[in-house]
Structure 1
Amino acid sequence: MIPSTKDGVTIRLMTEEDYGIVKPFVKDNFFGSEPMCASSGEEVHLQNEKENDAYHLCMIAQDTCLVALDEKNGGRLVGVVLAGCQVPQDLEKNRIDAEAMEANFWGRASIFISQIEREANVFERFGISRVLYSHITSADTSMRGKGLGSRLAATLMEVGRSKGFPAMVAYCTSFFSARQKEALGMQCIHSVAYADYKDAQGRAMFTPDAPHTTVRVLAIKL
């Protein structure tokens, strides 16, 4: 049930009013540690900023996003999930949007992820017409290793079930996020090694540090 409190941390649905603290939280706790972003050498949080804000607010309006608040520390924000509905038409829309982006990190990464989501095609694979897409899950650095990320992902599954989503999908660029979601019963339905995605000169386009060697598509029927 939502909201839920455990060990002094409450998880509830994110509201539009929360975005003022969610955005800097994602900058500080996600972009600096997500393997592709962290290895890019670019200020990723400043790229496609307007479009990303609009996308995040659209997901928040669906009541499919979460915040985790530390009640023992004045309700401090310690975790977030940004997630929303995807439909089959989004696969082609995302491809077109990605190819129209600047040739910066965000544009290159968007083309890569778009290719992966079309190869995985969770809609065709599961015979469904919509899916709950887990876009960003992030915990405060002080809370990592304490099970908060797993709790956020499990709560998102509850949200998906309550809204009648037949499945949930996540594109895990981190070894640890994939391992966490697999422990919750999500299955890898497609994967691509970073070393195999190369530019025209045959060089790997993304080179995160080990153990982050592969992008894994994790999915679960709800």
Structure 2
Amino acid sequence: MTASTKDGITIRTMAERDYPIVKSFMQEQFFSGEPLSQSTGEQVHLQNEKESDEYHLSMIREGTCLIAIDENQGGRIVGYVLAGSQYPEDLEKHRRDAEQMEQHAWGRICRLLSKMELEANLFERYGTSKLLYSHMTSVGGSMRGKGLGSRLAATLMEVGRAKGYPLMVAYCTSFYSARQKEALGMQCVHSLCYADYKDDQGRVIFTPAAPHTHARIMVIKL
């Protein structure tokens, strides 16, 4: 894609060389604010770190990840979105991988997301054999409330259309991210109430602060 600049903020395709700074930004801005990670008090960014790095780099190589930089501050990163292809066979792979993960926060999050994607079964629902999965979006604290998250999501939709994806999906664990996606025309097709998601002993697994009460699967046809 061609880089797009507005109000001094440039959004462009992420390159592998960007990943070290993106990873640092992810630790500082995403995991500290994502409701499920935040509610556990665990250092989620250190859990399954090697596997996560490999997964993120594989998405970057697809040319479907974006980085936002502030031209007025020497090209400092202020946001990003990691996204990549998904196929029907990925559902079973995600289920197996999640089951085998440790009983730490990231493992519990992955099991929740796998449960939701199996229940939603978007490939069957929409009769498609591939979709663009918006995996992780983060905007720096100084830029929140200024429309950058929406701009990143809208730009990703453009990338998806240009690459021939029929569908874009995002799993929103935050009330605010779901509301933002809805404002861009994405529809909630499946949700899970955190208070109803319990372990074998009947204990609620995630207790994020209000207003984060549900995880939602948001979809838009491209």
The TM-score range, normalised by the shorter chain, is over 0.9
Deviation at 1:201, TM superposition (A): 1.6
Deviations 1:80-116 (A, max 9, x none): 0000000000000000001011111111111111000
Unmatched runs of 5 consecutive residues or more in structure 1: none
1:192-211 to structure 2, matched below 5 A, reads 192-211=192-211
Q: Which moved more, 1:196-205 or 1:160-169?
A: 196-205
Find the aligned partners of 2:195 and 2:11 in 1 and give their Cα distance. Answer: 37
Match of 1:182 in 2: 182
Displacement over 4 Å in runs of 4+: none
Deviation at 1:2, TM superposition (A): 2.9
Match of 2:98 in 1: 98
Find the aligned partners of 1:60 and 1:89 in 2 and give their Cα distance. Answer: 21
Unmatched runs of 5 consecutive residues or more in structure 2: none
Match of 2:171 in 1: 171
Deviation at 1:56, TM superposition (A): 0.1
Aligned pair count reads 222
Match of 1:108 in 2: 108
Match of 1:15 in 2: 15
Deviations 1:140-185 (A, max 9, x none): 0100000000000000000000000000000000000000000000
- The 3-state SS of whatever aligns with 1:212 is coil
Find the aligned partners of 1:7 and 1:31 in 2 and give their Cα distance. Answer: 27
Match of 1:138 in 2: 138
Find the aligned partners of 2:58 and 2:39 in 1 and give their Cα distance. Answer: 28
The residue type paired with residue 198 of structure 2 is K
Match of 1:214 in 2: 214
Q: Give the superposed CA RMSD.
A: 0.6
Identity of aligned pairs, percent? 67
Deviations 1:32-80 (A, max 9, x none): 0000000011000000000000000000000000000000111110000
Q: TM-score, normalised by structure 1?
A: 0.99
Deviations 1:184-220 (A, max 9, x none): 0000000000001001121110000000000010000
